[in-house]
Amino acid sequence: MTDRSGARAQILGGIRGTLRRADEGAAAQAVDARLARHPRNTIPARTALPHAEIVDLFVAMVRDVAATVDRIERPEDAPRRIAEWLA
């Protein structure tokens, strides 16, 4: 059991030493700078597409994961189409 606790102490000591080094100097400054300029809540560029292209992209992405899509002309058609699918 002594060998294991000595190995454990050595491993944890190495991790602690690495963490201390990462907290100091240029590395810490680089991390701080990156976090400061990173935008929060980024919005994918694909949302700037025209509505019809966004819908087409959505359909393609759904089909890429082996799901199916039934397109309807009007929202009022949805209950009927869902009932047909469930039948």
Give whole-number Cα distances, 65 to 26, 46, 61, 69, 81, in Å: 43, 19, 7, 11, 22
pTM for the whole thing? 0.46
Are the C-beta atoms of 47 and 54 separated by less than 8 Å?
A: yes
pLDDT at position 22 over 60: no
pLDDT in tens, 28-69: 788 788 888 877 777 788 888 999 999 999 999 999 999 989
First to last CA, the chain: 65
Angle 2-22/25-37 helices, nearest 10 degrees? 60
pLDDT band at residue 84 under the 50/70/90 scheme: very high
Q: Which residue has the higher pLDDT, 61 or 19?
A: 61
